[in-house]
Amino acid sequence: MQTQQELFTLTGKIAVVTGGGRGLGRIAAEALLRAGARVLVASRKKADCVATADALAGLGDIEGLEGDVSTQAGVSALVAQIRQRTPVVDILLNNAGATWGASLESFPWDAWSKVMSVNVTGAFTLTRDLLPELSARASLADPSRVINVGSILGTAPIPDDSYSYGASKAALHHVTRVLAGELAPRHITVNAIAPGPFESKMTAFALGKTDVKDSIAASIPLKRIGEPDDIAGALLFLASRAGRYVTGSIMPLDGGLSIDARSKLLTTHL
Ligand SMILES: NC(=O)c1ccc[n+]([C@@H]2O[C@H](COP(=O)([O-])OP(=O)(O)OC[C@H]3O[C@@H](n4cnc5c(N)ncnc54)[C@H](OP(=O)(O)O)[C@@H]3O)[C@@H](O)[C@H]2O)c1
């Protein structure tokens, strides 16, 4: 058996993180760096990614790139930049995400194409186009990893004014399982993390208010909002030797929300 350090180290690995300039992607980039990986972070706002790379440079080798995954041209441009830097990608974290909130009656047509193009088409297409790099070092003993950032809203049918977002994350979970089956013989694992509420720009409209945040935390079975170590722990498991036999999983990272842990269903009505 390997030591704890050997199981979880990412020394020598090369990782790409989309949406890595802020939020969960930045947390992920830091976790990958701390575990020893070289990290490329990309999003539409190159300045954010460069600033994050500058801030984390003391932890290891990290670079910020421009990369819009909502179009084929954007994905191709990102892949070209990655190819200029490395012939190998061991870990691809499809974290870039967009959402849209509106009531059922006012939910606009555009809110579907915008959200689906980033959350589903972008993740699928970047994975497809990086297959040569993901295959370069993939082996039976040490598969390469694709990790998609899904959501509890892709697992549980909660409307939450984000109809296209939930549907996009359910689609991403499905794509995760489809690609896991297809890429397993090529020694590439494909898994998803399905977070519940974490603080970020995307959730600031609710979690940015202390009373709302406390109320949301109280509604979660484990009684708190997600924290950076929760992202890091799940990611490092899936990205390292520790998780090499896991593929096609949708890992709940939601404090128990997805099991809707009511202590009573029938007896509470007696
Ligand atoms: N926070 C939560 O509670 C929560 C829960 C479940 C799942 N998630 C998922 O976690 C992921 C990260 O979200 P977050 O919470 O950290 O929100 P966030 O702070 O809004 O981050 C979203 C990231 O995606 C990038 N992005 C958006 N559109 C893009 C595009 N077309 N191409 C490339 N990058 C793009 C953004 O950078 P640019 O604006 O520079 O492009 C940003 O870095 C998303 O997939 C989200 O759905 C979050």
Structural domains of the chain sorted by starting position, each given as residue range(s) with its CATH number in brackets:
4-252 (3.40.50.720)
Q: Does any ligand 1 atom lie closer than 6 A to the CB of residue 38?
A: no
Among residues 67, 53, 97, 92, which one has the least CA distance to residue 195?
A: 97
Which of 114, 202, 224 gets mutated to test ligand 1 (max ligand atoms within 8 A of its CB)? 202
C-alpha 138/C-alpha 131 separation (Å) is: 10
Give the ligand 1 atom nearest the CA of 226: 3
For the chain, which residues score pLDDT lower than 50?
A: none
Q: Does any ligand 1 atom lie closer than 6 A to the CB of residue 257?
A: no
Which of 26, 44, 147 gets mutated to test ligand 1 (max ligand atoms within 8 A of its CB)? 44
Q: Give the pLDDT score at 267.
A: 72
C-alpha 147/C-alpha 234 separation (Å) is: 10
0.85 cut: is pTM over it? Answer: yes
| Alpha-carbon distances, residue 96 vs 38, 140, 168, 173 (angstroms) | 19, 29, 12, 15
pLDDT tens for each residue of 82-138: 999 999 999 999 999 999 999 999 999 999 999 999 999 999 999 999 999 999 999
Q: Give the pLDDT score at 261.
A: 58
Q: Give the pLDDT score at 180.
A: 99
C-alpha 47/C-alpha 30 separation (Å) is: 17
Q: Give the pLDDT score at 266.
A: 77
Q: Does any ligand 1 atom lie closer than 6 A to the CB of residue 200?
A: yes
Neighbour count for residue 210 (Cβ, 10 Å): 8
